[in-house]
Structure 1
Amino acid sequence: MASKIYSFNKGMLEQEEGGVVEEYPLQLVVNGRELATLIASPHDLRFLVAGFLRLQGFVSKVEDFQALAICQDFGAASVTIKGELPERLKPVLTSGCGTGISFNMPKPVEKKGPSRVHSPASIFTLMNQLAQKAEGYKSHGGMHSAGVGDTELILHSEDIGRHNTIDRLAGEALLKGISLEGKILVTSGRVSTELVAKASLLGIDVIASRTSPTDMAIRMAEQAGITLVGYVRAMSFKLYTHVDGIDFRAGDGKVQGVTGVILAGGASSRMGSNKALLPHKGGRFIESIYRELCEIFPEVILVTNTPEQYQFLPCRKVPDLYEGMGALAGIHAGLSQSSNPAVFTVACDMPHLNPELIRHIASHRHSCDLVLPMSPHGYEPLHALYNKGCLPAMESSLKNGKRRIVSILPRVNVREISPSEVAGFDPGFDSFSNINTPQEYYDLRNADKEKTAAGGQFPDAAAKLQA
């Protein structure tokens, strides 16, 4: 809804056009009886009504509905269900936005703990996807959002009321025949007892919020066997109940849906020998890169036209499909051969990879074709994430003899990671440095020796590669 808005900033009052959140009253009539007026956002009201009735205990399956009609013009919903409503209904005011109402306070289903174990990566991925899908909030603010899934969101909703978002998910799942058993619920709002109780009725394993739970919500989640997570940020969160519902074992927090790709096709002309095989951190240079990517991604691929030189690496090795076309051909080969929909690429001579920066870059993979970080010197395409949507543009450039990676930029959807955003993880922009000359290599070796002398240790390469 467009509205005239006046903005006061730095002593100046200016008029601007902008959207404001819509508030819509919906009169709910069930079996001819006026039950309640729901204050909500005006979209997908059938999901809201179905979910409200489901979580109030009036229906449990699609067959319980004999009729469900929404008249948007008159703000009315008429529903006929099997059976009769209780003769006396006692409304309870809840902590929902604007004060919610409940006739049957949902009671959690008691269980010992989550039905399955989930990874931290799944929580981060779902929360990031929820933020990307929150179109109403991004447009004009004033809205809550929620979603459910495992490693990917399967349903999401927005509404002015945070409890309405859960009702909408419950209703959509019911009408579409989608089970929410064992799923992760992510929400932008505070976690209260009503939200935990509703999640329990839906069989939710984990509730993750951008903000905090209440004390009663924590006690109820403990009783309901739900892992309760709060203050989810890019790489951190707080756990309040059932810590065993999250698997924190080494490697479990890997970024799903992304393959790490190492490019080892350079001529090393300035170095005078294959720099990928130079000693570094207790092994060869490329082993160090490989180990770091293995900690982040479930699959790592080496792009090389000389696989016999890298038999010591226990990973797939793929050749360029367009020989002699430089790094663009290497990225194209890795992306083409990846078993995942996206790849994160690095060169084989980048000694200062920053896992948190890499994970941050990967967290934006669902919103674009290419996630491209920037340093003060410009784009850094050899430390970037490429989705398979980039393949047509890559193939077009390669077939037309264009070797530069930036040649694909006008034809793909790019999400730039600005220098200031990068600096939040890597203030010195060391992630983008590489080793090209003997002097640069000697400087790196000396820095390694100083670190070792100061008490730092490098892992044993052979042990890590055999693990």
Structure 2
Amino acid sequence: MKTTHVYHQGRLEEQQGDTVREFPVVLHVNGREIATLIASPHDLRFLVAGFLRLQGFVTCISDFHMLAVCEDFGTANVRIKGELPERLKPVLTSGCGTGITFNLPSAEARTVPAAPARVTADTIFRLMDELNRRSEQYRSHGGIHSAAVGDDQGIILAAEDIGRHNTLDRIAGEALIKGIDLAGKLLVTSGRISTEMAAKAALLGITLIASRTSPTDMAITMCEEAGITLIGYVRGGKFTVYSHPETIAAELGRHASPTGRTIPGVTGVILAGGKSSRMRSNKALLPYKGGRFIEAIYRQMSELFDEVILVTNTPDEYAFLPCRKVPDLHPGMGALAGLHSGLHHSDTPHIFAVACDMPYLNSALIKRLATLRTKADVIIPEGEKGLEPLHAFYGKQCHDAMEKALQSGSRRIVSFFPEARVCVFSRDEVTTFDPSLDSFRNINTPADYFELRDGERVKSHPEAALAVHSG
């Protein structure tokens, strides 16, 4: 089930629902990997057999010596009569049914655009209505996809094609020839949004995608990571927001969450006051997962807490984050001053504080720590090297003790602990949620950053010979 937000009569309301799934199947024929089929995850043997037939590899069932599909590992192993050509020459088709691409584009490859302005529902409806009016071929004989890019002034470029992926390719080409920058623009389309569409939009710097129909689960994940607002089912005065609803200029209504999606009575606090001296640049702004490093931290925190506060003395650098920014009340006094400021400015009984360079926050661990917050003033986990004060809960009762420590010139977070009730969540308990203790891993040097980035790329984009996309 996926939490989405449905716009209706000026409000965004949460709802739970299923999303369309994409399932990659790596196809091996006579021991050679020839393609990755992207499809719905059912009757995959029919998909494999039909693909090989229509590609001319087989003509009848007796041409198969073996056809085995393993859904658990996403592989299909086939042996057929005869030998495959020494060199397979893929043909780029319309993109629907057997559209082939050698590499699925990564949203990380895009240039990070400026933070998008909030978009009104009226702008989205007007762009979609204008797209419908321009869809001449669809009105005449159907079976044609259409897409357009624009802004609050209207459509800038539009295209129609038999393949939904091709419409975006056409727009990208026309923009290149005419010297039109698409960064920060909005994309409206008649077709389903898959990962390829989302990745291409990210490469162009598109900040919002709206479709008359649905996105897939993988496209939703890609847009969440790339900072793109993804909208589906734009029709009848309503639409569904699948990622980044904060960019829609509408009142965000929330029903009581029986699943406990957010932790009540706690403000998330991100500390972004470090000098990043070993990194030699502001590590919070380094590219990561299609956006900036701190955006990934913010998204994780905003999923856990109703409000997230950023403690920074340079708020203009973080104008793209839709949250409150507060300064240190004791500048130059390190992380303790950041915690003190976050606690001072929060409107809740507790805060949960992290640094801006901790990409592996573990929601289950944080929620477990949250259950202990009424038992002490500080709930702090133990890591490999000892206590982890920048991954801990702090109650309002700590404020005066922090102030006293700062007034005395102390910069160490633990310096006020003798004045507070402290509950330590042992390392053994932590490992039941996070066996590798990655929750406490941070990024201090260029080597740390490149190791993290390269590791994420390997996990997110394993090599494949081809990617064949369903229509």
The verdict on a shared fold, with TM-score over 0.5 as the criterion, is no
TM-score (norm. length: structure 1)? 0.44
Does 1 or 2 have the higher relative contact order (CA < 8 Å, sep 6+)? 2
TM-score (norm. length: structure 2)? 0.44
For the pair shown, the structure with the greater C-alpha radius of gyration is 1
